[in-house]
Amino acid sequence: MGMFYRNFWLSKEAFFALVLVVLFVTPLFVFGGSRVIYVDKDASGSEDGTSSHPYKTISKALKNADDGDEVRVKNGTYKENITLPKEVSLYGHSEKRDKVIIESDNDDKPTVSMKHGTVLSHITVKGGRHGVRVLEGAKAHVFDVVVKNSDRDGIHIDSASCDKKHRVLIDKTRIINNNRAGIFSEKRFIVILNSDVVGNGSDGIDLASGTKAWLEGNRLNDNKGSGAKLVLDGASLYGKKNGFRNNHREGLEVSAYGAQGTIELKRSAFVGNDRYGVARVARTTGGTKMFGNLSFGQGVNESRFEGNTLGNLSSIVRGF
């Protein structure tokens, strides 16, 4: 059984590696011949979106953008709530994410909403009901972004089919000081890489039941809830080299309601959390029997548990 499971893991890891190659390579072909539209809040004179006559607001640039266009924003703070149209990419022009700040003008709305096929990169997003909202059914890519100080979730992801055509990829992103979860996602396919999800008012990451996900190289630290909150039912969730440190509750909380699912996190660190390193919570009587496919690697791939106040791995807690 152990050999079968290890071989199964390797096939999963190879699968996700192939998916990531497709995700990073494909945009080179999709956006290679696209039009570039420029934005500069300090511009004067006529506006047509060219580099010599840029638009003064991001909203106006997006209103004039078509599928496949790229919007490049000069340094500065833009007080707007924006929606990225389908297949449009938005980049900070200097490729330094602290130089372009989009700050919410209406905290009853997300600061940035993303439709299908959109990209957000090299930008800081501040405030809003949510900092970034990925709309229902939308595929989206968030790369090298800071999301902070929203009233609710830093990144809120609506539901979609669990396939690569509708995946959300979050890479090299810092999600900090949001009032609720750093990242909240309804059921879909989500990939989170090399990101800091820290100091949020609730959990670092909160993923719904049935989620398919790959987590790698993330730091889920110092959140007021748990580092991550996952649901075992229907999950196909794998990852490695993630840190769950110094959270005010668990490093990781896993709930089970009674349906099968798989969660495996290899070579991760569960260190210094105020409650358990990992808490297993059965939400129904049937859920008490479903933790067999929750695992944390073996041998050289084994995760590290250290200094968690109530212990490393809880007994199965009845949450009903």
The answer as to whether 222 is a domain residue is yes
In a domain, 235, yes or no: yes
pLDDT in the model for residue 231: 98
For residue 11, what is the domain's CATH number?
Answer: 2.160.20
Distances, alpha carbon 113 to alpha carbons 202, 261, 309, 313, in Å: 22, 31, 39, 38
Instruction: Give how far Cα 230 sits from Cα of 11, 72, 235, 262, 294, Å.
Output: 23, 36, 9, 11, 11
Tell me if 55 sits within 8 A of 61, measured CB to CB.
yes
Domain that holds residue 29: 2-35+68-318
Q: What is the DSSP letter of 224?
A: S
Asked if the structure places residue 172 within a domain, the reply is yes
Kindly report the pTM of this predicted structure. Answer: 0.90
DSSP secondary structure letter of residue 55:
B
What confidence score (pLDDT) does residue 26 get?
45
- On average, the pLDDT of the chain sits at 92
Q: Identify the sign of the CA torsion 268, 270, 271, 273.
A: positive
Residue 320, Cβ density class (10 Å: 0-12 exposed, 13-18 middle, ≥19 buried):
exposed
Q: How far is CA 172 from CA 60, 160, 184, 193, 195, in A?
A: 28, 23, 17, 6, 5
What is the distance between the alpha carbons of residues 239 and 188, in angstroms, rounded to a whole number? Answer: 16
Determine the pLDDT at residue 168.
98
Query: Is residue 95 classed as helix, strand or coil in its secondary structure?
Result: coil
52 found inside a domain? no
C-alpha closest to that of 134 among 192, 179, 76: 192
Backbone angles phi, psi at 86, to 5 degrees: -50, 130
- State residue 34's pLDDT score: 81
The 10s digit of each residue's pLDDT in 156-168 is: 999 999 999 999 9
Separation CA 234–CA 280 (nearest Å): 16
Q: How far apart are CA 292 and CA 305, in angstroms?
A: 19
- Give yes or no for a contact between 130 and 111, defined as CB atoms under 8 angstroms apart: yes
% of the chain with per-residue pLDDT over 70: 90
Give 17's pLDDT tier (boundaries 50, 70, 90).
low
Tell whether 44 is covered by a domain. Answer: no
Residue that wins the pLDDT comparison between 18 and 153: 153
Inter-residue contact 279 to 250 (CB < 8 Å): yes
- The two tokens of residue 310 are 């109530």
| Mean pLDDT (whole number) for 24-35 | 52
Residue 46 lies in a domain: no
Cα–Cα dist 103/123, whole Å: 11
Considering the domain boundaries, does residue 54 fall inside one? no
pLDDT grade for 102, boundaries at 50, 70 and 90:
very high
Q: Is residue 48 part of a domain?
A: no
Q: What is the arithmetic mean of pLDDT over 267-289?
A: 97
Smallest Cα–Cα separation from 245: which of 232, 261, 228, 233? 228
Q: Kindly report the CA angle at 74 between 70 and 78, in degrees rounded to 5? A: 100
Backbone angles phi, psi at 58, to 5 degrees: -65, -40
The predicted-structure confidence for 187-234, as pLDDT tens digits, reads as follows: 999 999 999 999 999 999 999 999 999 999 999 999 999 999 999 999
Say yes or no to pLDDT of 3 above 60: no
- How far is residue 312's CA from residue 24's CA, in Å, rounded to a whole number? 36
pLDDT at position 4 is 30
Which residue, chain included where needed, has tokens 């993330």?
Answer: 218
Domain count, the chain: 1
